Structure 1
């Protein structure tokens, strides 16, 4: 099934510390911006999104921009906040976005903010809540929605479904797209002693909108998806195996401890090489070396 992004697209997470480098990339198909990082003005019911000039220049040059939310709390017991949905909608409109994305997680309960993406119990009751909140969000944003699987260091003891069964139910009941984080699948499988490729192949791959690829590190016997370390060779091997049968858009996600520009460009090269795709070239590379 054709998704909202070109199937062979390559992208990167747009972040202010690396926006200068991103501006010099040739062949960048899309970028993703964290919704909560964009300032807003005006009333909550009708917010005006302030787009940094560097991001606006990318949008105006034809690079697709995907707003990516982290605070909607789709898996929370309360209905999604209308103001947050409206902000997603305004971001999509302002950025001429082909879709928006959020997480299958909850971040608040009883008025308390967790500050983290927390896993949702894979139960029929939690599934019903997710379906209702996803449907409310889809009805309010005006563009397709993709939901992302998260990395979780624990599982709820009352889980009734596997992750693949849970994600398949979400997709089938709502028609939502999947933002497949391949690094998160790797982290969860590694920490639980499972085969990450087998876990990937069980997912509803026909509804993938795009994929995140990120780095992580081992700490105290657990693998942590940090977004602050280079992509491990095992994740790149997983990408190569998976995209052989599933030509899907791929995106480098980096959220801190940014390496020198050449190293970041090498990570983009590693993704394109793993996927056997034309690389994202950079006028920057000629300047930096």
Structure 2
């Protein structure tokens, strides 16, 4: 039996992580037939089937799952060791993959990314913006960026900006026709502008005051999947919306919107970069975090004026229904 090469094992890891030969080939920068040939060669050399393949899906076999579990920490440690060697020489190389919501990635592009790429031109920075919360380890990312509430408990978090809050808002014209709610339960008597999350679920509005927490699946005949559109609908008098404060700030300042239940809307932790604490930290990620810390004042100055994304908070993801 011929021994598999490191290239064969990395090909297997890519297909296992992406669950797709096409996506894995794109990730590796090779042709799909080349990748398929490499996997067939690996299976032949090991004399075991690693994937169940259909025209629509790719899934690991039991043997493939065992191999993935053994290879993942080994290859990660190998990559970390190689990065440490190059880092010691002052020439970082390799790829740094970070997953975040759209707002987080925009903030990075305006603050940290230019400085980081100027300092470390040998690092390939792969930033992926998506609304849904993903398993960064399972999807092959070195780090993620989400609201503090969404960071998994087993991850190490580095705060990036100040706390934020969500506000219930309505137009003066709307409130002239109906009494403003004085407690969250009163929202059940109002047409509310509901929010659809990337998962397809609706967000349950959450409020808290003096240790008391309330979740409400508000009524309403209008559902949107965009906070800016929800603000626009509220300005138009279509009901009460519940949005991150920065989205509504301009309309609140000029009187087009009024906040209600404000004493039920406390601040929550803002954006944080997070990564697994039980793995060796790649030198490139350590350098990225150091750059963030050096530019923290610049980052925090932009963060309050940039709307945070509700759809990736733990409350929105886990408690929507």
Normalization by structure 2: what TM-score? 0.19
Whichever of the two has the greater Rg, that structure is 2
Higher helix share: 2
Normalization by structure 1: what TM-score? 0.21
Structure number with the bigger relative contact order (C-alpha 8 A, sep ≥ 6) is 2
